[in-house]
Amino acid sequence: MRAVDIIIKKRHGESLDEKEIRFFIEGYVKGEIPDYQVSALLMAIFFQGMSAQETAALTQAMLDSGERMDLSGIPGPFIDKHSTGGVGDKISLPLAPIVAACGVRVPMMSGRALGHTGGTLDKLESIPGYITDLEPAEFRKGLLEEGFAMTGQTAHIVPADKKLYALRDVTGTIESIPLITASILSKKVAEGAEGIVFDVKCGSGAFMKGYDDAKALAKSLVATGKKMGKKVVAVLTNMSQPLGYKVGNFLEIEEALDCLEGKGPKDVMELTYWLGAWMLVLGGKAKDVSEGKSLCEEAIESKAALNLFYRNVVRQGGDLEEMQKKRGSWRSEYSIEIRADKDGYIASIDALKIGLAGVYLGVGRNRTEDSVSPTAGFIFDKKSGYHVSKGERIATLFGKDSQSLEAAFPLALNAISIENTAPSISSLILEEITVS
């Protein structure tokens, strides 16, 4: 078997079999197939696509390239959630303890901010002392005692994905649906999830901005997940404006705590309950979404979810007292306000522009080696649909330094549109995909 023959086969639009896909992935991880040949195959996949069978085979080969989390001896069910990324998307933070409080274990392997989308690990690490690089034994202990644990991907979990992603990033093949599917699913299966709820974003701040592309990705994730024997559902959600009123690392920890106390923003609470309900359905703890939502609400009202979050913070090295002390006051000294230039209604807040401005502020990063600031970000006073008077404050920006504010302010200002008439507000939950 030769790598070049496999490249030519896919270039012609033919389907690759499991042996050919495995040969390529194993050879690349071992260093036997060079970057330039893998790049050629990635581009062929980008243009020719892959069948559901091929995508499942690619996912399996990537999964088998490294170790898996050993969850044996821990009673399940194990259900996780994956978001395709957005701006102000702190849903994982309240979601994991809520679902855990309802009796479903959540093995959550999260990522860092890259580009305009935020990263759960960066948010958690803004809690003083919080550790996200857990050893397998600590991960297991957290799952057993709190019902959830949050960690980053280790070098031994799906190493093929790390190598392939870096190559996709520099070869213009990031947006390939089969490659995205295999990347996401291989990591989720490796962490031990028996079922996965996919939050597939759509809109200006989403990875897949067009509805049709987002739906195609959702269908691919569902089809491939089922072929791998997993319980899966995909929920298409609106990412045309930031989620919640706070965008930033510690700022989103604050808003997550608000949610766990039952007083979070309406959109964040709605999405958290919806995704949580589906996780409980997949985990066999609720017969339908309505019952699942009720169980999630009970976990909030009883303070069970909040207490689990506190226990997790302590377990993973966080300083609970310091976190509470900084809550509501830990802000960068560099700030600037956006005020309305006329009377009217906020017609839109472009999530992509806010996300890109956030990178300048220090919320996110352009390169994996860039650092982020825990105190940078946005606090919005008003969002789409609200009336504002001329001179009224709409948002406050916090930057890592004065230069970051100068770079971010024009972009953020341009993201906010004010019109004379009230806009129609799009639904947050757009569609559910349960079949391929």
Residues catalogued as catalytic? 82, 161, 168, 183, 187
Q: Which residues does residue 349 pair with via DSSP β-bridges, in sequence order?
A: 416
Please give the structure tokens belonging to residue 239.
């990412």
Nearest alpha-carbon partner for 176 in 42, 57, 83: 42
Neighbour tally for 367: CB within 10 Å? 8
Q: Which residues does residue 232 pair with via DSSP β-bridges, in sequence order?
A: 196
Instruction: Answer for the pair 414, 378: CB distance below 8 angstroms, yes or no.
Output: no
Phi, psi angles (nearest 5°) of residue 272: -60, -50
Residue type for position 335: S
Phi, psi angles (nearest 5°) of residue 114: -150, 125
In angstroms, what is the C-alpha Rg of the chain? Answer: 22
Cα–Cα dist 106/229, whole Å: 18
Nearest alpha-carbon partner for 128 in 368, 375, 378: 375
Q: In angstroms, what CA-CA distances link 203 with 100, 239, 248, 345, 356?
A: 30, 5, 20, 21, 15
Q: In angstroms, what CA-CA distances link 303 with 27, 144, 262, 294?
A: 51, 20, 9, 14
Residue type for position 251: L
